[in-house]
Amino acid sequence: MSGFRPLEARSVGIDNATVTSTEVLKKIGRMFYIVDPAETNFPSLSSLPKDGYIQQAMPYFFGMIALEWLVLALKGKTPRLSDGIMSVSHGLIMSLMELLTSGLLFSGYMYIYKNHCIYELPWDSTWTWIAAALGIDFCYYWVHRAAHEINVLWAAHQVHHSSEDYNLSTALRQSAFQAFGAWPFYLPMAFFIPPQHAIIHKELNLLYQFWIHTEIVNNIGPLEYILNTSSHHRVHHGANRYCLDKNYAGVLIIWDRLFGTFEQERDDIKIVYGLVDQPQFFNPIKHQLFYYGKVLEKARTMTNWWDYMCAFIKGPGWFPGTERLGDPTFVEERPVRDKYGPSVNPLLHVYTLAHFVFVIGQSDLLARAFAGMEQWTSLLIILYLLGTMTSIGILYDKSSLRWLLELARCGISLLFLETLVTVNSVSVDTLNYVYTGSAAISVVGLIMDMASSKKEKVN
C-alpha cells in the first residue's frame, strides 16, 4: 500500500495537468472563435460562466501582447510603452464603466424577449447557435458603421482609433460610452434569439477582433475573402484617404463586400494610423470626453436648426454643402506626420509601469469583489483607479502640474490604505512602502521641474 498511493497521486497530478492544458487550449481557441457549439450553449442566463469569456481571456490578452512586442523588438520595431499603457488604460476605463452599468443596457433586450418574442428558438439547437453568431456579427457591422457615420456616436468610437501605433494593445483601447449607442442595434435579435446566446456570441465576436490588431500577420490566403483579417482591419484604422469609412466587419468581411464598404489594403501606400486630426495628448479621461465638446462646438457654428441637428447625426467630416459623410478630398492620401509623444526619461517608464500593473491588479480584484462591496466603497475605488490612470497620462504629456498631481495622488493613497488593502489583499506595510516611495519620487520630480523652469527663465 505504501508504494501504491504515491503512484496514484502522481497519476492524479498528470490528469489535472491534462485538464488544465485542455482548458488553456479552449480559451486560446475562443480568441479565434474556434469553439465547440455544444460547450458554448447554455440553457439560461443563470447558467452562464460566472467570469465571462472576456474576463477569463485577460491573461491571454497580456500574454499575446508581450509575445507580439517581443517579436516586434526582435525586428527592430520597439513599440512605444506610453501608447501601449494608454491603450490598456482605455480598456480598463471601459471595464469600470461596465461594472457600474451592468445589466442596465441589456434590460431592453430582456424586456423584448420576455414580452414580445415572435418565435423562441430552442436553446440547445446548433442552428440557434449559428443564427446567434451570424445575427451578432451582422448587427455589429451596423453598430460599427453607425459609430463612424454618425458624429455623436463617433465621439465615443474615436477613442479606439486614436492610437498612432497598430498592435494588439490597440485592440483594448475602447470607449467607456460606446455601449450606450450600440445596444439598440442588437434589439431585433430579441424577437428570436435567447439572451444567453446573444451574450456568449457578443463576447466571442469581440474576442475574435483582438488578434486582427497587428502588423505581424500579413495575409491568410483564401480566408481573406470570408473573414475579417489583420490586413482588412489595418485599412480600417488608417488615416489615409482611401482607408476612411471602410471595413467595418467584426468576424465576417462578407458584410463589407455586400454593402459596398470593403477596401483592399494597398502595397503602394504606407498606412498612417490614428485620427485625421490627431489629438496631442495622452490623458485618457480627457480623450474619452473631449470630442463631445468638439461636436457641440461644431453644432454651434451652424446658422439654422437643420444644420445644427446634422452636426450631430451626419458624419464627422460633414459640413454644409458636402455629402453626408463629408468631402474625403480634404484628407491626404499619403499623410506625413510625427507621432505624438513628448520625450521622457526612460526611468519614467519604470515608475509608470509599476503603478499601472498595480492598477490592472486592482481592477481585476474589484471586478471579482464588486457584487459584495458597498456602493460608496466601490465608487471611490473606481474614481481612484481613474485618477491613477489619468495621472500616468499626464506624466507622459509632461504637463507642468504632473508631479504635483502625482504627489497628491500618492498622498490620497496613503490616507486610504485600509480601503486599498481590502481590494488588493496585500499588507498595509507593503502599500505604505510603495506610496511613500512614490511620494518621494514625486517630490524629487517636482523640485527638478521647478529648477528646470527657473533655468529656462534665466536663459
pLDDT tens profile 199-217? 999 999 999 999 999 999 9
Domain boundary among 199, 230, 259: 259
HEC sequence for 366-391:
HHHHHHHCCHHHHHHHHHHHHHHHHH
Q: Residue 429 has what pLDDT? A: 67
- In angstroms, the CA 99 to CA 377 distance is 13
Last residue of a domain, one of 259, 280, 300: 259
Separation between Cα atoms, residue 246 and residue 262, nearest integer Å: 6
Calpha distance 413→102 (Å, rounded) = 27
Q: Are 138 and 198 in contact (CB under 8 A)?
A: no
Do residues 354 and 245 share a domain? no
- Tell me if 391 is assigned to some domain: yes
Residue 259, all three cell numbers:
454593402
Number of H helices and E strands in the chain, helices first, is 18, 0
Mean pLDDT of the chain: 88
Going by C-alpha positions, the residue among 310, 292, 308 that lies closest to residue 300 is: 308
8-state DSSP, 50: S
Residue-wise pLDDT tens digits, 317-330: 999 999 999 998 89
Question: Could you tell me if residue 323 is inside a domain?
Answer: no
Confidence check: pLDDT of 2 > 50:
no
Judgement on whether residues 90 and 210 belong to the same structural domain of the protein: yes
As for how many domains the chain has, the answer is 2
The vertex-156 CA angle with 150 and 157, nearest 5°, equals 75
Residue 272: all three cell numbers together = 498612417
Yes or no: say if 344 and 398 are a contact pair by the CB < 8 Å rule: yes
Please give the pLDDT value at position 345: 87
Confidence (pLDDT) at 418: 67
State which amino acid sits at residue 298.
K
- Asked if residue 255 is part of any domain, the answer here is yes
Domain presence at residue 405: yes
pLDDT at residue 443, rounded to an integer: 78
Specify whether 228 is located in the same domain as 376: no
The cell numbers describing 388, all together, are 491613477
Helix (H, G, I), strand (E, B) or coil at 11: helix
Q: Residue 420's domain spans which residues?
A: 346-458
Is residue 3 one of the residues assigned to a domain? Answer: no
* Share above pLDDT 90 across residues of the chain, in percent, rounded to a whole number: 65
The arithmetic mean of pLDDT across residues 254-271, rounded, is 97
The verdict on 252 and 352 lying in the same domain is: no
